[in-house]
Every structure is written in C-alpha cells, then in structure tokens.
Amino acid sequence: MMVSAHPSATFDEILMPRARSASQAVLNVPGLEFTYNGRGALLRACQEIAHAGKRNILLPAYHCPSGITPAIQAGLDPVFYRIRRDLSIDFDDLRAKVDLNTAAILVIHYFGIATDLRPFQVLRELGVVLIEDWSHSFLQGSPPTLSGGESDYRIYSFWKLSPSAVGGGLWRRRSANAKARLPLAAPPLHERVVRLKRLFEEALNQSKHTFTQGVFLRLEAMRKALRRPAAPQLTSIEASLLPGEAHYPFDLALANCRMPGLSRRILEACDFLSLTQKRRDNFNHYGQYLRSSDQLKLLHPALPPETCPWAFPVLLQQRSEIDHHWRASGVGLFTFGIYLHSALFKNTDATTIADAQYLSQHLLCLSIHQNISAAQIELAAGIINRTLTRTRVHRATHAFFV
C-alpha cells in the first residue's frame, strides 16, 4: 500500500467524530478564531496590521507562496529577509531591512521546530508587530498545548497534523475590537461537498475494503469520462516558467470563510497526546536509521524537546532525480517551498535569493504522521540508504575509470 504523505481520517472519524475534552481544552484559548485555512488567518491578521498605516512586512525568503500572497492581498509590501541553508534566520540581515515603515515581521517555525523569539523583543518594543507562523504544527509541550510564544498574532493550519482536510486558525494577543471585525461566512455548499468526497476517498484508500475501493474507482472513472475534457496538463518546463504563486491559487472567498463544522469535529476528536507522541517517535526512528552524508543532510538529527514535528526534513542532492523513485517504492514524502513567490525576485539581494533557491531545490520532507508505523519508517529508511549507497558506489566507480 502506498504510504500517504499526510494523515487521513477513518470512516468512524468522519461519520461519528467523538470530541475529546482534552483536545477541546487545547483549542479553547482566548483570542483564537477558526478560519477555513491558514491563508485566511494570515489575510485577516495582515488586514488589521495594514489598517494601522505602515506598509512594509518582513517575510522569510524561503516560504510557500500561500504565506506571501495574503500579505500582498491585504495591502502590505513584502521585504524578504535571509533564511540560511540550515533554516536559521540571519538576524543581521533582518535587522538591516527594518526601517520606519516596517509594520510587521512574519516568522515561520519550520516543520514545528520553534525559533527563538527573544531577538525580536527589541523590535516589538519599537512597535513592530510579530506574527508567528505555526502552520506547520499547532501543538507544543507534553502534555501538548497550543503552540506559541511572545508574539502579537499566531497562524495555524490544523489539517497538517490532524485528518480534518481543511481548517486554520488565527490567534490575536489583543482581541478587544472583535465586534468590529467582519464575520466569517460559511464555506459554499459545493466546496463542502467536494471536501466530504475527498475525506471519504482518503478513508477508503487507507481501509481494507478492497472490493469497495474497486467499485469506487470504476464509478470515478465513469464520472470523469462523462465530464468535459480537462485542460491539457502543463509540461514540467512550462510549469517551471509560471510564477510561484500560480501553483498556489489564492481564493479570497474561501479565505473569508470559517472552518467547516465537520473539520472542527474531526479535529476535536483527535487524541493530541497520542498524535504528538507518534510523530515524535517516527521522527526519532528516522534519526536512528539515517545519517548525514555528502548526499543527504539531516537538518535536525535530534528532535528538540516539547516539539510536535510536521515532517523529518532533509537536504537531498539531485532531489528531482530521486524523490519520485522513493515515492513509487513506498516512501511517504512531500515537498515544501519548491516554488517561491515572484515578489522575492523583484528587489531582494542576491545572497538572500540564492539561499532560498538552494532550499527550494534540495529540501525534502519525509512523512512521519500518526498513520505511519515504525515498520514503515524502517522500510522507508532502508530504501533511502540503499539508494544512497548505490549512488556512492556509482560515483566512486565512475571516478576510478575517468
């Protein structure tokens, strides 16, 4: 069975989600608003920040475009600061790019690994708003609580850890003007139907109901045959010529919607303690089986305490030539930041761009979610190690004969 990149809900979780009081307590935090997705949460935060008058927002040069477009949509002007090739912030570069028109700084806690916020305290005292992007992981600590430190806003994307399919959140330190905000609308019926279908499809794919899977696949093939012909797929070369944000369309209507009720019920039915422990165990299993080399660099060989990780991130040489072979062999994996927003390339210095491009071309995320077993992690690590060994032997042999 192909290992899914992200967790999927079971039929019981979809049809009869049973809320856990402990999980509800984690989410019952003053100042937290549930949005349809993380993009909507960031949009609302940036709209409030833009209303104050200043226009510049400092953003990490290595990012997903969906974390940039909402800021621009809200009327803010992006200024990109350097992220080094180990995912650390170049604070000298960041401080040099702060000016009198700087309204806010967005900090991404990559893969759920917390960034030290103490260097930002001086800037906050000067009136710069700090936004924490916790969209990679909304849980911290043991027992787990909602992620976050000393900031003004926090962005969450709940579906990355839970099988809720969608769902984001915005936490505000100051929520006194809640009555003045526009209320979030319910998602359109069509969108809810499509999401429900995908939930059932994912549950079926992960189940043992092979006969039902076959029936569903035949019905799905019939449905696709009856609909209008799809637009021709872009070639990889054509896709690479598109701006990064074209790969992550921003739906303003959905960004202004609230989290669907079913997604929230699935989220509240999750066992956050078990979920966190399983992800930590799977992360540590990969750390046990893999080692850094000239081909593969482990960005976090050891998991920091109190962390609920989203993935096991590595830097892989020749990623584009290898990752699809690993996926076909059963390794659960995905990418992050493979496309960069076009705004990065307009007025950003060459060093900052070069490091962001390096990460976009080499970083690979190994899946460690709660549906993956220790045996599957061991099998995946074995596939990875055998591939790297064969590559080393091939290079050595080629060098000898050349």
pLDDT at 400: 40
d(CA 378, CA 202): 24
The token pair that represents 223 in the structure block: 């449905």
Q: Looking at the structure, do residues 173 and 47 belong to the same domain, yes or no?
A: yes
- The residues, ordered by sequence, that sit 6+ positions from 356 with a Cβ below 8 Å of its Cβ are 61, 62, 63, 80, 83, 337, 340, 344
Count Cβ atoms within 10 A of the Cβ of residue 331 and give its class: 0-12 exposed, 13-18 middle, 19 or more buried: buried
Please check whether residue 397 lies inside any domain of the structure: yes
Please check whether residue 5 lies inside any domain of the structure: no
- Of 151, 180, 209, the last residue of a domain is 180
How confident is the prediction along the chain (402 residues), in pLDDT tens digits per residue? 568 888 999 888 998 899 999 999 999 999 999 999 999 999 999 999 999 999 999 999 999 999 999 999 999 999 999 999 999 999 999 999 999 999 999 999 999 999 999 999 999 999 999 999 999 999 999 999 999 999 999 999 999 999 999 999 999 998 655 655 778 999 999 999 999 888 988 888 877 777 666 766 676 667 666 776 656 666 666 677 789 999 999 999 999 999 999 999 999 999 999 999 999 999 999 999 999 999 999 999 999 999 999 999 999 999 999 999 999 999 999 999 999 999 999 999 999 999 999 999 999 999 999 999 999 999 999 999 999 988 765 555 544 444
pLDDT at 178: 60
Q: Looking at the structure, do residues 134 and 31 belong to the same domain, yes or no?
A: yes
d(CA 287, CA 23): 29
Q: Looking at the structure, do residues 288 and 172 belong to the same domain, yes or no?
A: no
- Of 122, 149, 180, the last residue of a domain is 180
Q: Looking at the structure, do residues 174 and 301 belong to the same domain, yes or no?
A: no
Please check whether residue 113 lies inside any domain of the structure: yes
Segment (H or E) for 358: helix 350-362
**Residue 64: CATH number of its domain:** 3.40.640.10
Q: What CA dihedral angle connects 254, 357, 353 and 82, to 10 degrees?
A: 80
pTM of the model: 0.92
Residue pair 80/205 in contact (Cβ under 8 Å)? The answer is no
Q: Looking at the structure, do residues 31 and 176 belong to the same domain, yes or no?
A: yes
d(CA 283, CA 377): 9
pLDDT at 392: 65
The token pair that represents 58 in the structure block: 């400092």
Give me the domain span that covers residue 321. 271-401
d(CA 77, CA 131): 15
Amino acid code (one letter) for 195: R
DSSP SS3 for 21: helix
d(CA 223, CA 215): 12
Please check whether residue 1 lies inside any domain of the structure: no
Q: Looking at the structure, do residues 172 and 58 belong to the same domain, yes or no?
A: yes
Q: Looking at the structure, do residues 276 and 157 belong to the same domain, yes or no?
A: no
Q: Looking at the structure, do residues 153 and 283 belong to the same domain, yes or no?
A: no
Q: Looking at the structure, do residues 29 and 170 belong to the same domain, yes or no?
A: yes
Please check whether residue 358 lies inside any domain of the structure: yes
Please check whether residue 146 lies inside any domain of the structure: yes
Q: Looking at the structure, do residues 161 and 276 belong to the same domain, yes or no?
A: no
- Of 180, 204, 224, the last residue of a domain is 180
Please check whether residue 188 lies inside any domain of the structure: no
**Residue 321: CATH number of its domain:** 3.90.1150.10
Number of domains forming the structure of the chain: 2
Q: Are strands 102-108 and 129-134 parallel, antiparallel or unpaired?
A: parallel
Please check whether residue 244 lies inside any domain of the structure: no
